[in-house]
Amino acid sequence: MSTEKRPLRADAERNRQAIICAAGSVLAQEGSEVTLEHIADVAGVGVGTIYRRFSSVEELMGVVLEEKMRRYAERTEQAAMQAETQPWEAFRDYVMFILEQQAIDAAFSDVLLSSRSGTELFRTELTRAFDASVQLVECAREAGAIRADFHHSDLLLLQHAARGLRGTQRIAPLAWKRFGEYMLQAFHEAGAEPLTPPSRIWARTLAAGNP
């Protein structure tokens, strides 16, 4: 009995890995608005096969991006710690890290901007990263490394704008980098004119400590 079942288990594992591999590629290129049927087609497995293992795109995305979300939270915490001694370098490198990750992984970009998407793990790691990013911004601002009127929600503006660059990847793969360099200059130097205040909803969200 056990000898007969081993090939089935091996086949099942191969199918699972094929699905995860295909999902990683599809999600990175197309974002979270894809179907399990499309991923099954890319993986070369039947629709029934993928549905037996994953009930939704969100569940599959949770497996594919689980490690990446952990690394994202860890990287944010590292930036917050570095900001205590190197505020500008920490802030600058973190901004470029976020923009690069958004450029190379559309699904990560989608999850980053929606606290309601993804799994419970996603939301946990998003909260962890949010708390660290608040500390990073506070350190950088208090040290004078970024302009005094920089608000934490300006990072959210940056991420939303970067998401809009998704369509430029093929013809301008480094557009995210040029955009980031522009924005870092704007964040670094105080402008001649006052800024429009940040959204009151975003300000309340920050005060409440919610991502």
Residue whose C-alpha is closest to residue 156's, from 126, 181, 178, 189: 126
Q: Quote the domain boundaries for residue 45.
A: 1-55
> Is residue 41 included in any domain, yes or no?
yes
pLDDT at 8: 47
Could you report the per-residue pLDDT of 163-211, keeping only the tens digit for each?
988 877 778 889 999 999 999 999 998 887 888 988 888 778 777 777 7
Residue 126 CB neighbour total at 10 angstroms: 22
Q: Where are the alpha helices (DSSP H) in the chain?
A: 2-30, 36-43, 47-53, 57-82, 87-104, 106-112, 120-142, 153-163, 175-188, 200-208
Question: Are 86 and 179 part of one and the same domain?
Answer: yes
Could you say which of 55, 76, 101 is where a domain stops?
55
Place of tokens 């989608």: 110
Is the pLDDT at 14 greater than 90? The verdict is no
Residue 60 placed within a domain: no
115 shares its domain with 76: yes
- CA torsion sign, 135 to 140 to 146 to 149? positive
Q: What is the mean pLDDT of the chain?
A: 88
Domain of 82, CATH number, reads: 1.10.357
Which CATH number fits the domain that encloses residue 36? 1.10.10.60
- 152 and 200 housed in the same domain: yes
Provide mean pLDDT across the span 5-19.
Answer: 73
Is the pLDDT at 7 greater than 60? The verdict is no
Q: Among 40-44, 46-50, 61-65, 152-156, whose mean pLDDT is lowest?
A: 61-65
180 shares its domain with 115: yes
Q: What's the total number of domains in the chain?
A: 2
117: pLDDT confidence band, cut at 50, 70 and 90? low
